[in-house]
Amino acid sequence: MTGTSTELEIRGRIISASFDLNDGVISVRGDRIVAVRPMAEWLAFQPDSAPPKYSGVILPGLVDIHNHGGSGHRFDTVDAEEASVAARFHHAHGSTTVLASVVTGPVDDMVAQIATLRTLAAEGILAGIHAEGPFLAAARCGAQDPRYLLDPDPAVMDRLLAAADGYLRVCTIAPELPGYEAVARRLAHNDVAISLGHSDTDFARFRQALAPSGSARLVTHLANGMPPLHHREPGPVAAALTAAASGHAVVELIGDGVHVDAGFGAMVFAAAPRQVALVTDAMQAAGMPDGEYRLGPQAVRVVDGVARVADGSIAGGTATLAQCLSWAVRECGVPLPDAVRAATAVPAAAAGLTDVGDLRTDQYADLLIVDDDLQLRRVLRHGQWLT
């Protein structure tokens, strides 16, 4: 690596959606990538320059579109500093792009939380906001507080949209609830990605709500918060995989080794390798020891790294996205380029983020340097080294 914080030449094995180079150089000026070239081409353009030192494996900065907090801090808060600390924790651990997720709570609380997060999105600390609720099925609420679940209501949706002021990127909603179509139209009109989840419906209804017949193109944490896959009752899991395999939907997969078994992960990648978005569903306890925490209005207890609410439902994850990437490769047997795409370009596109998720000209200079075991060495975000 050579240069200053605003002018860098970074050399290594480059793996991204656009490149797979055994020996390449990424040129950074300011906060943007200005060139990605094989080493031989870089030398041909600069024959009198000393070649940069080989750094290791270079990946795009990871993109986490489902994240509730970390390092003891939460995104479901009206304290901007608390949310900022959570975001910066994930930045430093490789997730250079983070959507802040809020869970179901009283509508007034959700509005205030989203308004707080909007300020951080405007500053570039967050890439936007994900509303996971309140329009979810009570039978599949998981760690969502059932006291505050609502049927889809355009007036409530308008309040959340107004609070976000253009920074709401994703909204999770159960498609079988009365009022779904009206709220889905609101979301589509405001360029918010509709993500189906926390649903108790059948295959046909779930599939119909997904593209091309429906307006939803994303599925929230596949297999969690929905009926299990069964050969006589295929349900939302099979509907989502069918849509993903045909290129009409992206399915989130929580890659922490707790929410889904590695065999299930292997199946999902085999069915739709370019339509999987690895996510953490991280909560306050990510990066923290076992103990007592919170997710929205609910108390959470973490034992052996697994977070649960009082009824036993898993209450978010405690892993980083870099750990989820490693799980996909090491435990599920996913080829590294597919796993990298699932943690970068696929989630970025699903959330409508156009300048992150890849290593190519004009993208933000967000990248990771990892070793051959995918252990994190350094993180560059917007042209600045974080670690």
Q: What is the pLDDT of residues 286-295, one digit of tens each?
A: 999 999 999 9
The pLDDT, as a whole number, for residue 3 is: 46
Give the number of C-alpha atoms closer than 13 A to the C-alpha of residue 22, restricted to the C-beta side: 1
In the predicted model, residues of the chain with pLDDT beneath 70 are 1-5
Tokens of 221: 């944490």
The pLDDT, as a whole number, for residue 181 is: 98
Give the separation between CA 81 and CA 237, rounded to whole angstroms: 38
Is residue 19 a contact partner of residue 36, using CB atoms and an 8 Å limit?
yes
The CA-CA-CA angle for residues 71, 77, 81, to 5°, reads 60
The pLDDT, as a whole number, for residue 1 is: 55
Closest CA to 282 of 136, 87, 142: 87
Is residue 85 a contact partner of residue 119, using CB atoms and an 8 Å limit?
no
**Run of H or E including 101:** strand 97-103
Q: Residue 172, SS3?
A: strand
Give the separation between CA 294 and CA 64, rounded to whole angstroms: 20
The pLDDT, as a whole number, for residue 144 is: 94
Other CB atoms within 10 A of residue 258 CB: 18
Tokens 């920074």 sit on residue: 167
Give the number of C-alpha atoms closer than 13 A to the C-alpha of residue 81, restricted to the C-beta side: 0
Other CB atoms within 10 A of residue 65 CB: 32
The pLDDT, as a whole number, for residue 47 is: 87
